[in-house]
Amino acid sequence: MTKVCLVIGAGAGIGGNVGKKFALEGYHTVLCRRSDQEGLDRLVVDIKESGGEATGILLNAAKEDAIEQLVAKVEADIGQIEVVLYNVGSQIGNRSLEDTTLKIFELGWRMATFGLFRLAKALFPLMEERGGGTVLVTSATASVRGNAGQHSHAASMGGRRMLCQTLNAEYASKGIHIAHILIDGAVDAPDTLGKMIGPELFEKLRDAKGREKDGLLLPEKMAETYFHVAQQHRSAWTHELDLRAFSDLAWWNHAP
């Protein structure tokens, strides 16, 4: 029986790398992202060439019924979703209150909070019936502290964290492991950070902090921890953990 690892939000960073890790460990990975069929194909080909199984699906998670249909389709056509990575974020850089339109604010919530709720509504009854499953949620510093310019991001990720705790309180004892993985730093991810700040700045950042300095979070290394959490024995589950580069200060610290 094919066991599926479903990745919602699969760029060349966390999503792609976690998906690949699970594929190499025997899961059929289903990678979903909003756009860029070519980029998606590259991720799928890479996994296949490494000996894993993968499928790519373009998906607008904010669209009505999109997540619900995805779950149904994957379960019908590919296999049981044993692990899902919810990796859709709402980071849009810093925008003042004035520059954050009602539409942007709502979209952040649709992607970061509502999407996870819809996923749980669609998937948890199936997981519960099968006795369990794992939901890995990529989270951000904004889930635990608001900051200037983070109206949409902080409100949606803060809501998401409370939703994760709610889901955990209701479903952990039914065998569904929900893990809230707080990424507290810049990820070496061309598809997200790279696009947000532009390729030039991104290369500069890589020179300054990344590469052999290991000061940017490396997605393929993060994937090790995502995978470990999904394998934890049910007598010892982690609900919340953080990840940051060794050379970064934690969000609660300031440079002296």
State yes or no: residue 222 binds a second copy (CB under 8 A).
yes
State yes or no: residue 163 binds a second copy (CB under 8 A).
yes
The H-or-E segment that residue 179 falls in is strand 176-183
Q: DSSP letter at 211?
A: G
Q: Least CB distance from residue 237 to a second copy, whole Å?
A: 5
Give me the 10-29 binding string for a second copy, x by CB under 8 A, dash otherwise.
Answer: --------------------
Which position has the token pair 């066991």? 3
Structure tokens at 68: 């619900």
Distance spanning both ends of the chain, measured CA to CA: 55
State yes or no: residue 125 binds a second copy (CB under 8 A).
yes
Give me the 189-218 binding string for a second copy, x by CB under 8 A, dash otherwise.
Answer: -------------------------xxxxx
Give me the 231-250 binding string for a second copy, x by CB under 8 A, dash otherwise.
Answer: xxxxxxxxxxxxxxxxx-xx
| Torsion angles phi and psi, residue 121, rounded to 5 | -60, -40
Nearer to a second copy, 40 or 157 (CB): 157
Nearer to a second copy, 45 or 249 (CB): 249
State yes or no: residue 118 binds a second copy (CB under 8 A).
yes
Nearer to a second copy, 49 or 96 (CB): 96
CA angle 16, 147, 143 (to 5 degrees): 45
Nearer to a second copy, 130 or 234 (CB): 234
State yes or no: residue 36 binds a second copy (CB under 8 A).
no
Q: How far is 65 from 73, CA to CA, in rounded Å? A: 12
Instruction: Mark the segment that binds a second copy (CB under 8 A) among 26-34, 36-44, 55-63, 165-173.
Output: 165-173
Question: Looking at 74, 120, 137, 230, which residue binds a second copy (CB under 8 A)?
Answer: 120
Question: Looking at 117, 126, 190, 205, which residue binds a second copy (CB under 8 A)?
Answer: 117
Q: Are 55 and 127 in contact (CB under 8 A)?
A: no
Neighbours of 87 (CB within 10 A): 25
State yes or no: residue 121 binds a second copy (CB under 8 A).
yes
Q: How far is 112 from 139, CA to CA, in rounded Å? A: 9
Question: Looking at 1, 38, 93, 98, which residue binds a second copy (CB under 8 A)?
Answer: 98
Where does residue 234 rank: exposed (0-12), middle (13-18), buried (19+ CB within 10 A)? exposed
Nearer to a second copy, 50 or 94 (CB): 94
Contacts to a second copy from residues 62-91, by CB under 8 A: none
Instruction: Mark the segment that binds a second copy (CB under 8 A) among 2-10, 44-52, 111-119, 193-201.
Output: 111-119
Number of residues that bind a second copy (CB under 8 A): 84
Residue by residue, DSSP assigns 57-120 as EE--TTSTTHHHHHHHHHHHHT-EEEEEEE--------B-TTTS-HHHHHHHHIIIIIHHHHHH
Q: How far is 114 from 152, CA to CA, in rounded Å? A: 13
